Structure 1
């Protein structure tokens, strides 16, 4: 049973819900990463990993979505910037490795 924050009456109940959300977030991030992996398979040059306009677009959208949801847009932007940086590094390495093996 999922409890809303206001329906939690103990620290244990809150921790249970946070743990549930953490599992869901990790599952969503794993799903997102599968698309990053596929993108790396489709790109033909490591320089394609960084598309500044796309990064800006994603960060702006995430900040707007966070704001609308009542979440700090600056924190959301910072979290996604770190995620995107990691994804770019992964793509560059994966593409370079694939090209080196060709």
Structure 2
């Protein structure tokens, strides 16, 4: 496996693509871990009504946007991505809750 360079050290598109591919693998792996927390939430929550928590959804999106702002990533993009991520997580958690 070739060495993955920092973005600042990339001088070819092959190096950029290798870095993106490596990061995508890490991101998806981390999303898998995040979904296992949804498994735990579905196991722990006492009622189906507890699965959707709009206040918590807003908090998660706000937290992600704050990180984005701190690290210089477009906050609107992160808000959009996290809205979809949280909605997908809620749907997944409903499925897991209903399967118990």
Does TM-score exceed 0.5, indicating one fold? yes
Distance 1:94 1:5 in 2: 39
Structure 1 residue 20, shift from structure 2 partner: 0.5
What residue is the counterpart of 1:60 in the other structure? 62
Contact 1:46 1:93 in 2 (8 A): no
Q: Distance in 1 between matches of 2:35 and 2:96?
A: 13
Aligned residues: 98
Unmatched tracts of structure 1, length 5 or more: none
Structure 2 residue runs of 5 or longer lacking an equivalent are none
What secondary structure, in the 3-state scheme, does the structure 2 residue paired with 1:21 have?
helix
Following the alignment from structure 1 to structure 2, what is the Cα–Cα distance between the partners of residues 15 and 79? Answer: 21
Q: RMSD between aligned alpha carbons?
A: 1.1
Normalising by the residue count of structure 1, what TM-score does the alignment of the two structures yield?
0.90
What is the CA–CA distance in structure 2 between the aligned matches of 1:37 and 1:9, rounded to whole Å? 42
Query: Counterpart in 2 of 1:50?
Result: 52
Q: Report the Cα distance in structure 2 between the residues aligned to 1:38 and 1:27, rounded to whole angstroms.
A: 17
Task: Describe how 1:29-48 pairs up with structure 2 within 5 A.
Answer: 29-48=31-50
Q: The residue matched to 1:59 in structure 2 has which SS?
A: helix
Superposition map of 1:86-97 within 5 A: 86-97=88-99
Deviation readout 1:27-78 (Å, 9 max, x if unpaired)? 1111111111111111122211111111111111100100111101111111
By how many angstroms is 1:94 displaced?
1.7
Q: Which runs of 4+ in 1 moved over 6 A?
A: none
